[in-house]
């Protein structure tokens, strides 16, 4: 049956005993309903025999318990028609509106879920890109550390020559040779000889001073060169240590970004699952709408129920006007029968929501590349590698972990 007649059956069951108190006209009306039912059974309106039988049984029951208060058959039929319009047609049209509302509400929920999933995907893409760039910088710091380490070693090796020279030039030794002073007072020339000796000593001391000055200059040059080499080594070592501190800081920052990245990706996965759950709800609803002899939203059933009701009401009106229940009357009524109304399944709206996500995805791509991040206190820059293309397997089932890293311990994804 059509949902209107089911509702009607419940309402009428309590009054079925009225049938035993009806006038003799009840039988005549029942015969009319049986005749209409038989005629419709051979008509295209009764393509679904089960629906047709249920509708006719309910219309027949409605007619049987209609309280006839007039001996006029026309009044009796008029009352039956009025009851059909009030108790059957209004319920069919109300149920049609209910189905329209159900479709519209499902599509609205699907649009909202699709928009949310799209926004969360953008957030996840941005978070993934932030992490990728952070690791790029982390790797760059490792490269700078390695360069600083090499520069320190090179600077330390450069200390050898100037510092060894300084060490070699640190000591100065001179052994000037003077002849013994010798004079003979008897000759009376000791003063002259002393003056000459003093000249020799002065010349020797002057040469010694010049040699000492030159040696001091050579030592000072070697000392300066050694100190410069030592200072350069110290500076290179300090720069190396600073790079390690910067790398440690960047590593901590990237780990924090990584945790946020995974959380954002998992939030998107949950949003996508909700979108797909809502899409499945729409698909199931449309399947029910299109199913013959289906549930409360079956449009084929509703259309047949409406047409059967319309044809029955039309033929009763023909009888009221003096006509008869036959094929010609049925043909006329069929031509004039109204439609229960169109039902927009909003399939274009549904298709539009699938342009972003089809819900048939097996993998999700974020940045199309991902890092393999090495562990340890001093990894090599070359150990930082990235893979492309990169896609994450996704599970779209409700209440499951959308991605393997969701709901568990974050890994180096």
**pLDDT tens across 30-78, in order?**
666 676 666 565 555 445 556 556 556 655 555 554 444 444 677 878 8
Least confident of 133-137, 262-266, 274-278, 316-320: 316-320
pLDDT at 60: 59
39 compared with 328, residue with greater pLDDT: 328
Least confident of 59-73, 95-109, 151-165, 223-237: 59-73
pLDDT at 64: 57
Least confident of 61-70, 101-110, 201-210, 400-409: 61-70
pLDDT at 54: 59
> Taking residues 258-266, what's their average pLDDT?
97
pLDDT at 176: 77
> Taking residues 211-223, what's their average pLDDT?
87
pLDDT at 356: 87
**How many whole angstroms separate alpha carbon 143 and alpha carbon 79?**
95
Read off φ and ψ for residue 55, nearest 5 degrees.
Answer: -60, -50
Q: Is the CB of residue 165 less than 8 Å from the CB of residue 225?
A: yes
pLDDT at 17: 31
Residue 188, phi-psi category: left (phi > 0), alpha (psi -120 to 50), beta (remainder): left
326 compared with 125, residue with greater pLDDT: 125
Name the helix (H) or strand (E) containing 363.
Answer: strand 363-364
> Taking residues 173-180, what's their average pLDDT?
78
181 compared with 147, residue with greater pLDDT: 147
CA distance to 245, 247, 379, per residue, from 151 (Å): 17, 18, 18
Q: Which of 247, 3, 293 is nearest to 134 (CA)?
A: 247
In this model, does residue 295 exceed pLDDT 60?
Answer: yes
**How many whole angstroms separate alpha carbon 81 and alpha carbon 73?**
12
In this model, does residue 412 exceed pLDDT 70?
Answer: no
pLDDT at 61: 58
> Taking residues 245-266, what's their average pLDDT?
97
> Taking residues 338-364, what's their average pLDDT?
94
DSSP state of 45: G
Identify the band that residue 410 occupies on the pLDDT scale cut at 50, 70 and 90.
very low
pLDDT at 38: 62
The encoded tokens of residue 319 equal 């009888």
pLDDT at 179: 75
């Amino acid at each position: 049956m059509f949902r209107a007649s089911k509702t009607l059956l419940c309402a009428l069951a309590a009054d079925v005993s009225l049938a035993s108190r009806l006038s003799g006209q009840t039988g005549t009306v029942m015969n009319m309903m049986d005749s209409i039912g038989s005629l419709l059974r051979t008509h295209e309106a009764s393509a679904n025999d089960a629906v047709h039988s249920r509708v006719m049984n309910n219309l027949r029951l409605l007619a049987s318990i209609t309280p006839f208060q007039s001996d006029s058959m026309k009044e009796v039929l008029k009352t039956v028609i009025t009851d059909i319009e009030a108790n059957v047609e209004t319920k069919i049209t109300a149920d049609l509106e209910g189905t329209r509302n159900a479709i519209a509400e499902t599509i609205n929920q699907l649009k909202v879920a699709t928009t949310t999933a799209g926004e969360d995907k953008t957030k996840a893409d941005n978070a993934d890109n932030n992490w990728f760039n952070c690791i790029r910088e982390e790797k760059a710091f490792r490269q700078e550390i390695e360069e600083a380490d090499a520069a320190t070693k090179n600077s330390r090796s450069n200390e050898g020559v100037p510092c060894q020279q300084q060490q070699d030039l640190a000591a100065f030794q001179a052994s000037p040779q003077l002849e013994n002073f010798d004079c003979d007072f008897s000759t009376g020339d000791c003063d002259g000889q002393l003056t000459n000796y003093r000249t020799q000593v002065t010349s020797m001391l002057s040469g010694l001073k010049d040699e000492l000055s030159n040696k001091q200059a050579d030592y000072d040059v070697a000392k300066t060169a050694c100190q410069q080499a030592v200072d350069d080594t110290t500076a290179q070592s300090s720069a190396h240590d600073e790079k390690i501190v910067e790398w440690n800081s960047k590593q901590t920052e990237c780990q924090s970004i990584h945790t946020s990245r995974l959380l954002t990706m998992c939030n998107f996965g949950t949003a996508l699952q909700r979108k797909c759950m809502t899409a499945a709800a729409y698909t199931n609803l449309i399947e029910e709408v299109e199913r013959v002899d289906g549930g409360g939203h079956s449009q084929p059933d509703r259309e047949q129920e409406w047409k059967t009701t319309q044809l029955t009401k039309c033929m009763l009106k023909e009888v009221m006007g003096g006509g008869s229940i036959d094929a010609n009357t049925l043909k006329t009524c069929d031509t004039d029968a109204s439609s229960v109304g169109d039902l927009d399944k909003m399939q274009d709206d549904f298709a539009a929501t699938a342009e972003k996500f089809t819900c048939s995805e097996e993998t999700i791509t974020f940045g199309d590349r991902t890092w393999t991040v090495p562990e340890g206190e001093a990894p090599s820059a070359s150990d930082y590698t990235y893979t492309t293309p990169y896609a994450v397997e996704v599970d779209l089932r409700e209440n499951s972990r959308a991605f393997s890293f969701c709901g568990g311990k974050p890994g180096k994804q």
